[in-house]
Every structure is written in C-alpha cells, then in structure tokens.
Amino acid sequence: MENPQSTLPPPPKKHEGILSFGHSQQQEAPDFSGITSDVSTLSRRLRLLEEGFTNLRRFFQVTEENVIAKNKHFSAEIKTLTYDINEVRKEIQELKDKLLLVIRELQSVARKEEVKVLEKYINLWNPIKFVSQNEVEQIINEVLEKKQQ
C-alpha cells in the first residue's frame, strides 16, 4: 500500500505576499506543472466518464425502445389469441347445442326393438299380397263379365 502523502503534490511554497514594497529581490514563479498535469488527467477521465454515460444512455434508450416495440407486438398477439380463443369457445358452444339437438332427435326415433316388432307384424300380415280397391273392383268386373257370357 502506498503512502498517501507520496501521491499528493508538494505543498505550495510560502511567500510573503504578492506585492512586496521596498524589496528589490525578485520572487520565483510558483510551479504549476504538477497541478496542470493533474487537471488534464482529471479532465481526460471526466471526458471518458461522460462518453461512458452517453453510451449507457444510448444503450438504455435503444433497449427501452425495443422493449416498447416488443410490448406492442406481444399486446397485439395477445389480443389476436384472445379473439381466436373466444371464437373457438363460440364454435364449441354451437357444437354442444347441435349435439344436444341431435340427441333429442335420436331420443324420439324408434329403437331397434321397436323396429323388430314392426318387422314381425309386417311379415305376419304380408302386405305385398294386399290388393288395392281398384284392383278388387277390376277383378269383380272381370268375374261378372265371365258369368254373363
């Protein structure tokens, strides 16, 4: 660890005043070279920090703009998905309603056992051998004609 005294510039030399009346001796000019280099170093560091902060501001501004754009995009996607989900729900409800209607219709339709009973009666009566009223009248007329001849 360095001695903190070694990094500090030497203290300024004491002098008796700026103007010395009655003294003919010439005073030396104070040495500002150390202070000037320190000020230039600090100035350079300050510029570097300012550039860094400027770059960070630009980075955060670009990042914020990207986040806002993504947020708008995701918001639009969510709205679209919500709309699609609502449409699917409506279609499912319509399908449920139609299915219930089909079930009600099927409940009113004859069952297999009932159709079997009807089939047995039809086979028993044999309606194919039934004749119509016109056919009966025609047969009667033919029979009557034969008798008259």
What residues have CB less than 8 Å from 30, skipping those under 6 apart?
A: 12, 13, 15
Mean pLDDT over each residue of the chain, to the nearest integer: 84
State the pLDDT at residue 1: 44
Tokens of 45: 């560091």
Region 114-141: mean pLDDT is 86
State the pLDDT at residue 52: 96
Residue of 88 and 38 predicted with greater confidence: 88
Q: Is the pTM of this model over 0.85?
A: no
Cα Rg of the chain (Å, integer): 57
What residues have CB less than 8 Å from 27, skipping those under 6 apart?
A: 15, 20
Q: Write the pLDDT tens digit of every residue in 73-92.
A: 999 999 999 999 999 999 99
What residues have CB less than 8 Å from 10, skipping those under 6 apart?
A: 34
**DSSP three-state, residue 136:** helix
Confidence of residue 41 (pLDDT cuts 50, 70, 90): very high
Q: Write the pLDDT tens digit of every residue in 52-75.
A: 999 999 999 999 999 999 999 999
**DSSP three-state, residue 26:** coil
DSSP-H helix ranges across 109-129 = 112-125
